[in-house]
Chains A and B, each alone.
Chain A
Amino acid sequence: MSENVILSTHGLHKSYGKGDGRFEALRGVNLEIKQGESVAIIGKSGSGKSTLMHLLALLDKPTKGSIELDGENTSKLRQKQLNQLRNKKFGFVFQSFFMNANDTVLNNVILPLKIAGVRPGERRRKAMHALKIVGLDDKAKNKANDLSGGQKQRVCIARAIVNDPEIIFADEPTGNLDSVTGDRVEKILFDLNHKKGITLIIVTHDPDLANKCDRQIRIADGRVVNGKAVEDEDIVYAKKPPTYYTHDSGDTDADGMLDVLEEDA
């Protein structure tokens, strides 16, 4: 695992509204995320963790402070460059999937490539490869709506990795899934992190998921509060190795997926 810093923030502030109604969502966040790390951003609702993720993912601009991606200050970038960065370097996985329900699985995965202007043959090949990684290549022609929740989230992961991103942002990726399917989605995400070295930034309420990450960044009242007293959630803040990932997990699908990842590596 490389020790290069891929993403860092300096005195990040974000506020909404004006005057009396002004609300400070973030009040000076400084953090560094290294390439290939898996990081959990945790905190209660309204703590500012989602706002932080949106800023890190360049979906929004900070009121004050700066974000550096690969050592470059992103505040100087124009909108077009930001769009291209998101398209090429980032992958997104959302709690409620966000898919075009009436379109095919394949077309949903293709979307980022279509936006990037990749040729039809090439994008089909890449999308099929991404679907193979999440073990859904046999469902490519199905309508997205006909899939189960777990399958939908795997399609979203396929969509997130189809552009070979450097960072995957996952906003409560298992929030809408039961524990069995949730585990499987987590396993795929961590596989990608370990095998392909994709940096993983996960926003979550789920302490188990947070614990599986290399590191946890806890947000409270718009600030990073790592090392302070544990409040309501049973979360271990110390850096510890991931507990989830093992080769003999018993998941029958797992071997096939791993093969694909190993072929890639």
Chain B
Amino acid sequence: MKLFDIIKDANQNLLRNKLRSFLTILAIFIGSFSIISTSAIQAGVNNFIDSQVDSYGGDGYLAIVSKDSFDALEGLQGSMGSSSGPVEYDPDKIQTGMSPITEEQLDKLKKIDGIDADSIVEEKNISITYVTSDKTDKKYLIGAEALPPGNVKVDLEAGEQLDLRADEYQILLESKYVDALGFTNDEIVNNKIKLVVLDEYTHTEKTFEAKVKGIIAPGVVSMGQQYTNNKLADDIYEENTKYYPEEVKSQVFAVAANYDYEKYSAQEMKDKLEDIGLSAMTIEDIIGTIKSFFDVILTVFKIFGLIALLAAAIGIINTLFMSVQERTREIGLDKALGMSSKRVFFSFSLEAIMLGFWGSVVGIVMSMVIGNLANAAFHAPGAFLETFPTFQLVQYTIPDIIGVTVLIMTIAFISGTFPARQAAHKNPIDALRYE
């Protein structure tokens, strides 16, 4: 008997009792719908968080400060309502302010195995007085920082990524500035805006004309920050600090660096830095809590989906047991005419797999239809995702779709083995006597 015949027969047998097959598929559908929907939301959330992570420096990014500064930050947090209680004052440590990273520490940092020495950049706090353009008389406050090194991809609505090493001034702008500065998204890309820094002693203004390379999509990590390339940041910093004494100017409070994340874990790197008196934070440390919060909720939903599938599996067993009972004589005839037990087992198993297949297909298709409608609805004016245009709450990935289908077909197959075994063990004589 050919495989094609067996598949065709399995589908035909399911159609013989349409209502029963439909109800069984409905039960599977509920399970597959909830699992694929949760997977899609998880994919959407993870994708969004990943794009945020990328815009902060991506995998392998380390934000490094001196250990004292880190303790000071922790102490500050402690005083701001951490459960660990207030931190005691210790005159031997500088716990109230930031302490710089020493030259010696920087040299040691460059030699640490796994740290990309070329990627190390000092984080400079730059301050811009206001932003304006040729198209408007208005002046707006603006915050900006140099884009961290490494494989950084800022989540963009329009335009392209910065060229960090370019010799011109470049900036990525939040979308709220586009309108305010008298442009549309299309117009502002590759156009110039004016960043003005005020000299507070002489009351003269210095203007930096920066080319807008792209528009930053609203997100959770980058909120309120524009990104500049190195040259723009360096020159503004130079302007900001031109009255500082040389030793203060050369002080470094924070550096960003990339490490080889394929070879070393974040914890290994942190331990190495600890040895030279530095503390580091990864992207996961910074936004990990958001991710784990979503993960917990979605795991709970997935468990609900699996429970629904378990109930559906019992439905499959029940349906097929009835089917075996009804078709006892038919099975007997098939076996008398030379069909092997293996084939009988296989054809009933295939019916179970078909039930699983149709249940999961219906579930996935329904979920995709509803999911895409929901995506559109969430981004409608006034809806809760309006301010995050790049955040697709539900995302259906091919591996998820195939994974869920295979999972459900496997569960269906396992459920089907009980009735299929009963069918395969039927004796043709007893089956044919059955009235």
A: residues with CB less than 8 A from B are 54, 57, 59-60, 79-80, 83-88, 92, 94, 96, 98, 100, 102, 111-112, 114-117
A112, B338: Cβ atoms closer than 8 Å: yes
* Chain A positions within 8 Å of B336 at CB level: 57, 59, 86, 92
* Chain A positions within 8 Å of B435 at CB level: 96
* Chain A positions within 8 Å of B338 at CB level: 83-88, 112, 115-116
In the bound complex, CA of A247 to CA of B71 (Å): 114
Neighbour of A59 across the interface among B5, B16, B330, B428, CB < 8 A:
B428
Given A100-B330, A117-B1, does the pair A111, B428 have CB atoms closer than 8 Å? no
* Chain A positions within 8 Å of B332 at CB level: 98
In the bound complex, CA of A158 to CA of B427 (Å): 24
**B2 (CB) vs chain A CBs: closest residue:** A117
In the bound complex, CA of A117 to CA of B329 (Å): 21
Q: Report whether over half of chain A's contact residues are helix, strand or loop; otherwise say mixed.
A: helix
Q: Does B117 contact A (CB under 8 A)?
A: no
In the bound complex, CA of A39 to CA of B429 (Å): 21
Q: Does B145 contact A (CB under 8 A)?
A: no
In the bound complex, CA of A247 to CA of B146 (Å): 107
30 contacts between A and B (CB under 8 A): A54-B429, A57-B336, A59-B336, A59-B428, A59-B429, A79-B340, A80-B340, A83-B335, A83-B339, A83-B340, A84-B338, A85-B338, A86-B337, A87-B337, A87-B338, A88-B338, A92-B336, A92-B337, A94-B432, A96-B435, A98-B329, A98-B330, A98-B332, A98-B333, A112-B337, A112-B338, A115-B1, A115-B339, A116-B1, A116-B338
Chain B 1-44, CB-CB to A under 8 Å as 1, else 0, gives 11001000000000010000000000000000000000000000
Please give the distance in Å from B292's CB to the nearest CB on chain A. 56
**A108 (CB) vs chain B CBs: closest residue:** B333
Please give the distance in Å from B242's CB to the nearest CB on chain A. 89
**B433 (CB) vs chain A CBs: closest residue:** A50
* Chain A positions within 8 Å of B343 at CB level: 115
In the bound complex, CA of A114 to CA of B8 (Å): 12
B334, A115: Cβ atoms closer than 8 Å: yes
Given A94-B432, A98-B432, A102-B16, does the pair A115, B2 have CB atoms closer than 8 Å? no
B16, A60: Cβ atoms closer than 8 Å: no
B: residues with CB less than 8 A from A are 1-2, 5, 16, 329-330, 332-341, 343, 427-429, 432, 435
**A60 (CB) vs chain B CBs: closest residue:** B429
In the bound complex, CA of A183 to CA of B338 (Å): 29
Please give the distance in Å from A100's CB to the nearest CB on chain B. 6
Please give the distance in Å from A55's CB to the nearest CB on chain B. 10
**B341 (CB) vs chain A CBs: closest residue:** A79
In the bound complex, CA of A56 to CA of B335 (Å): 16
* Chain A positions within 8 Å of B428 at CB level: 59
In the bound complex, CA of A86 to CA of B335 (Å): 9
* Chain A positions within 8 Å of B329 at CB level: 98
* Chain A positions within 8 Å of B330 at CB level: 98, 100
* Chain B positions within 8 Å of A80 at CB level: 340
**B9 (CB) vs chain A CBs: closest residue:** A114
Please give the distance in Å from A46's CB to the nearest CB on chain B. 14
Please give the distance in Å from B423's CB to the nearest CB on chain A. 15
Please give the distance in Å from A123's CB to the nearest CB on chain B. 10
* Chain A positions within 8 Å of B427 at CB level: 60
In the bound complex, CA of A83 to CA of B343 (Å): 11
Please give the distance in Å from B17's CB to the nearest CB on chain A. 11
- Which has the most chain A C-beta neighbours within 10 Å: B2, B332, B336, B435? B336
Please give the distance in Å from A45's CB to the nearest CB on chain B. 13
A114, B340: Cβ atoms closer than 8 Å: no
CB-CB nearest 5 A-B residue pairs: A87-B338, A83-B338, A86-B338, A98-B333, A112-B337
In the bound complex, CA of A79 to CA of B338 (Å): 10
* Chain B positions within 8 Å of A100 at CB level: 330
* Chain B positions within 8 Å of A87 at CB level: 337-338
A115, B432: Cβ atoms closer than 8 Å: no
**B12 (CB) vs chain A CBs: closest residue:** A103
* Chain A positions within 8 Å of B1 at CB level: 114-117
Please give the distance in Å from A48's CB to the nearest CB on chain B. 14
* Chain B positions within 8 Å of A92 at CB level: 336-337
* Chain A positions within 8 Å of B337 at CB level: 86-87, 92, 111-112, 115
In the bound complex, CA of A60 to CA of B408 (Å): 39
Please give the distance in Å from A74's CB to the nearest CB on chain B. 14
* Chain B positions within 8 Å of A96 at CB level: 435
